[in-house]
Amino acid sequence: MKFPSSTAFALLGAALIAISYGLARFAFGLFVPPIRGALDLSPEVIGLIGALPLISFVLASLVAPRAATRLGSRNTALLSGGFGAAGLALISQASGAVSLGVGVFACGICTGLMMPALTAAMQALVKRSLHGRVSSVMNAGTSIGVAVSVPAVLFLADAWRYAYASFAVLAVIGIVATWYFIPSVSRVTPANAAPPPGITLAQWSRLFRLSLFAFVMGFVSAAYWVFAPDLVVTLGNLPASMTGWLWLAVGVAGLGGAVVADLADRNNPPITHALMLVMLAASLSLLAASPDQMVISVFSGLVFGLAYMSLTGLYLMTGIRLLPGRLSMGPVMPFVAISLGQAAGSPLVGILVNEFSYAFAFAMFSAAGIIVAMFSPLYPRYIEQEADEAGEEQTGLQAAYDYQLQDEHGEPFSPVTPEPTAGSAALDESDEGRG
């Protein structure tokens, strides 16, 4: 067992997120055209299968925080990697809708378990002053994983089984790295830190509104994640290998999502939410309007990637801020809502495509996104923190993490106290991390 530095842990976390989110979850849509052709599946069936990993993600997310506490971060991450490797291997050998569905369901469990495990490890290994930076690097792993899947479809579009077998191998490598680098302990809380305050009615109300917006965003985005590549192949008559450029655009643009979310925290979250949701809806319209134009299709991928990752980053930051001291609930609720929205949207897109057309389905989902964007002034503002000045240090992801541990005055907990006891000093040193 070797405890990594903060930088090494951030890079390892990004790699594991790239596998569990990028390859095990979001790469599926990229391979829908060849999979649908090889297994003779209708759009309606693909839509139902596309909802399965989202349902399993929700189920796994509900138990993941407790699993990370009971099993420890390493064992939870190993369990996640095991489901990912098994699911990817099953997809590579799928012979029909049932085996394909089982594989993607297992991949969803992998996705739901990984981030809570890494968050627990981060809280034990990394200094609290670096939590925001490390979390941003790990979150970028989703975009990296989406981009990494591109070479596979460019060279193995007609050999999707080999592509998924290679993804399974990467998942096994991730399991080995997890066993070697991730500690078995969960988060360490200083003994003299104040317990999290009770959840007020105002907090419940804001968390409910946040989850509603997240649900709609997931609902609208389901059309793109599951059916965008199939749309350009079916309507645009583009070769399946060319859809890789679409996902490359999504992944590259998605890397800017953390920057946009951070800027939103420093300025006006409701306005940013409205803009990003309109952009998300516009990406669907762009793709459906010109599926045979590769440049426009790739541009729609850029718009979608930036909007989607910006919105997920914004929901993450808002959830953390709304419920200080409750990382197992605040940021989890909106992400569960996103997956529920995607699980609801995916089969509906398949039904609309089957009954009408791709253009009609994408247009309806785009319109839904634009309508909901008009209600963005209702986007929940943060519970105001007590502070002398609203300085720049009180904005951004790190500021959100700072308030996860508070003292008796409701201020960010500092491990340096005037007269620390031996016990609390030992706990503080452990909480600050190693390396």
396 assigned to some structural domain:
no
Asked, for residue 407, whether it belongs to a domain, the answer is no
Residue 59 CB contacts under 8 Å (≥ 6 apart), including other chains: 109, 112
Q: What is the pLDDT at residue 401?
A: 57
Instruction: Report CA-CA distances (Å) from 433 to 188, 243, 336, 398.
Output: 9, 43, 29, 17
pLDDT at 137: 81
Burial category of 172 from C-beta neighbours within 10 Å (exposed 0-12, middle 13-18, buried 19 and up): middle
Q: What is the pLDDT of residue 414?
A: 54
User: Torsion over CA of 6, 9, 10 and 11, rounded to 10 degrees?
Assistant: 130
| Residue 394 falls inside a structural domain | no
Per-residue pLDDT reduced to its tens digit, 24-58? 888 888 788 888 888 888 888 988 898 898 889 88
Q: What is the pLDDT of residue 22?
A: 84
Question: What pLDDT score was predicted for residue 395?
Answer: 54
Q: Is residue 200 part of a domain?
A: yes
Q: Is residue 386 part of a domain?
A: no
Assign residue 192 the CATH number of its domain.
Answer: 1.20.1250.20
Phi/psi at 406 (5° precision) = -125, 155
Q: Give the Cβ contact number of residue 70 at 10 Å.
A: 11
Domain span at residue 98 reads 6-378
How many domains would you assign to the chain?
A: 1
* Rounded Cα gap, residues 391 and 374, in angstroms: 30
Q: How far is CA 138 from CA 16, 17, 134, 388, in A?
A: 8, 7, 6, 32
Q: Is residue 427 part of a domain?
A: no
3-state SS assignment for residue 194 = strand
Query: In a structure prediction context, what are the per-residue pLDDT tens digits for the chain, which is 435 residues long?
Result: 556 677 888 889 889 999 998 888 888 887 888 888 888 888 889 888 988 988 898 899 888 888 887 888 889 999 999 999 999 999 999 999 999 999 999 999 999 899 888 888 887 777 777 777 788 788 888 888 888 777 776 666 567 888 899 999 999 999 999 998 887 765 555 544 555 566 778 878 888 999 999 999 999 999 998 888 888 888 877 776 677 788 888 888 888 876 776 676 666 788 889 999 999 999 999 998 888 888 888 899 999 999 998 898 888 888 887 877 666 666 788 888 998 998 899 889 989 988 888 889 999 999 999 999 999 999 987 654 434 344 444 555 555 555 555 555 555 545 544 434 333 333 333 333 433
Which residue, chain included where needed, has tokens 């925080």? Answer: 65
Q: What is the pTM assigned to this prediction?
A: 0.78
* Domain assignment of residue 431, yes or no: no
